[in-house]
Chain A
Amino acid sequence: MTKSVIKVQNLGKKYKIGLREPYYSLRDSVANLFKKKKPRDEFCALQGINFEVKEGEVLGIIGPNGAGKSTLLKVISRITPPTTGRVLIQGKIASLLEVGTGFHPELTGRENIYLSGAVLGMSRAEISKKFNQIVEFSGISQFIDTPVKRYSSGMYVRLAFSVAAHLEPDILIIDEVLAVGDANFQKKCLGKMGEVSQGGRTVLLVSHNMHSILSLSSRCLFLSKGKLIQSGEPEKVVKAYRESASGNSQGKTNLTKAAHYGDGSACFTHISLRDPEGNPIFVTGCNIEVELTIKAYENISNANVAIVISDEQENRLIDVNTLIKGYSLDLKKKQQAKVIFLLKNVRLQPGVYTVAVWMGAFASHEIDAAKYASSFEMEARREDVLYTSPFPGVYACEFDYKIKKDRGKGI
């Protein structure tokens, strides 16, 4: 019954490395006229991709950075041509690869609605018809005649999203744009998008947020290094992606080649981070097991072993060590040991955190330390998905709330 609206067949995209440079210069080109042509380095952004998308499907696309997700979206939305293969498309496409496509800072909100709407593929009549809805949806009607350069970033995003939310294409292509905006408004947009997919519209969605992939998409593709690794049910594909990610800096890391300092009488050789099930997946409020492997080259005694967790701005957030618990490590020459910390109910906000390791006999005497031993990404809890990233503050405490209102008469 449902037909395919997108057919991708053996799709490939190569970039010549030279083509990715900012610009050519005429001098180089003239000089090259007289030289023998060297075979240029090529970079395969996409290779042999095959898949189909059925009408009304919400297809999530995941993969590590540089996997070719954005290139794939750009080829499907006709921004850049493929090198091999082909794509067959039925229906009108709108692509949201950026928040506020076409916005001009000098123009007013009103003017930008028309501009951005037209750039995204709406006709003038369509924009005029929906104009009031768009303004109302954005909730910034009193600033509609102010140039958008005077908007706060929140207002800008609201207006931009409102225009995008009122597109009525057959196929909607979204790249990571949901990561911005304040939480309530984000929720509103997600709701509007839900309507979109129920209206028989097809959505292609790239995101790094596994929770929005899981909650929105009906099928999922996993890309890596330009190749399609797996496709199918979102749960399975997300799991496969996470497992493959554990081979990276998340999970177990060999520290022998990391930057160390200290007297070297003993060394950290490995660090591994995992949740209690053994996966390197961390969600706000989870427990984290940090396992450190230490090898002694000399006899050491009274060593305090510590880990420090910092955020991306290098603020120290967590410092735990064995001395707090009254333990210090003694090791004989060539002896190996594992120190396992169990961090309980780690309530950090979603984001990326680095882990530093330190070992010292006294406060001043450093045996071994590595500042960037490992890193991990904290994800939002699935039930919190609508209320994530935009809230500042590093600590995500658990809370309840009550509301008490007076009778509304004032004082």
Chain B
Amino acid sequence: MNNNGQEKITYEIKPPRGLIKIDFKEIWQYRDLLYILIWRNIKIRYKQTVVGVGWAIFQPLVTMAIFTVFFGRLAKIPSDGIPYPIFVYAGLLYWNYFSSALTTASDSLIEDESIIKKVYFPRIIVPISTAATPIIDFFFSMLVLFILMLVFHFTPNFWGILLIPVLILITFVAASGLGLFLASLNVKYRDVRYILGFFIQILFFVSPIIYPASIVPAKFKLIFYLNPMSGVITLARDTLLHHFSPNWLLLLISFGTSLIFIIGGTIYFRKTERFIADIL
């Protein structure tokens, strides 16, 4: 996009064959578009709402209250000695980001059909930008967590705060990876929309949001932690609420699986990318 002197970009348009490499240089050239699309998504997210970004705060708070009553008080789900409201809120925080990143990314190509059919740009920018957008909500919900911590007399600690950006990065990578896969699948099969709801519901229950990871039987632990969200939520609670130092192995597993997600998702996306404009 930048004019580098008289040197003009030359490229060749050919029928696509075999595996296509990811052109990181090109994506870098389109970074302004990525930025503008994220900015647009944020802008339109709360247009014509009275409460605006307030929804990013109310939504998890209300969910927290409901879960505390039903899962904490009535079902008496253990919470490793932490007050249930803050326990469940710490998990919901990451989960809400993950599920809204995944849902919007899966629908993103269809939502932006009109520009995809009319202009060229690396299509990967569309799902990536939508997956990044809910980070703004995450940020506001995080502020609420700190307020809750004050209320429940938890002191913020070094590892707990240091790990927040790392954990949100892992969540972003995992959600983008799955999102890329589902977005390209969605272009071809609109069934994805209907399946996605169930899929997210299942993921919700296999992730330690309403219950602690400690109640998962040892023999299922390995499979349990193959879900990057299990690691992310457990690590968030361990460091921020229990003041444990981070379990590095767990961090490594979560990072590894989310990387596998994004590599797999990108490969599938690249395979279908060039034909998206034809089948949308």
Contacts and interface: CB of A to CB of B under 8 A. Distances in A.
Contacts of B32: 118, 123-124
Contacts, number: 125
Contact of B115 (A15, A23, A92, A101): A101
A104 B44 contact: yes
Contacts of A170: 8
A75 B188 CA distance: 21
Given A95-B118, A102-B115, A81 B189 contact: no
B44 A106 contact: yes
Interface in A75-116: 75-93, 95, 97-98, 101-102, 104, 106-107, 111, 114-115
A121 interface: yes
Contacts of A85: 15
Interface stretch (B92-100, B160-168, B272-280): B272-280
Contacts of B116: 79
Contacts of B119: 77, 79, 95, 97, 101-102, 119-121
A79 B12 contact: no
Measured as residues with beta carbon below 8 angstroms from the partner, the interface class of chain B is 35 or more
Interface in B1-57: 1-2, 8-16, 32-33, 35-37, 39-40, 43-44, 47-48
Interface in B201-231: none
Interface of B (DSSP majority class): mixed
B115 A91 contact: no
A89 B39 CA distance: 31
A81 B120 contact: no
Interface string B186-199: 00111100000000
B189 A26 contact: yes
A74 B275 CA distance: 12
B76 interface: no
B121 interface: yes
Interface string A7-24: 000000001000110011
B117 interface: yes
Contact of A19 (B16, B44, B279): B279
Contacts of A97: 117-119
A82 B14 contact: yes
A25 interface: yes
A29 interface: yes
B188 A86 contact: no
B13 A75 contact: yes
Interface in A27-70: 27, 29
Nearest to A107: B43
The 8 closest A-B pairs by CB, nearest first: A78-B120, A118-B36, A87-B13, A26-B191, A106-B47, A97-B118, A91-B8, A26-B189
Interface of A: 15, 19-20, 23-27, 29, 74-93, 95, 97-98, 101-102, 104, 106-107, 111, 114-115, 118-124, 147, 170
6 contacts: A24-B189, A81-B274, A83-B15, A89-B12, A93-B120, A119-B119
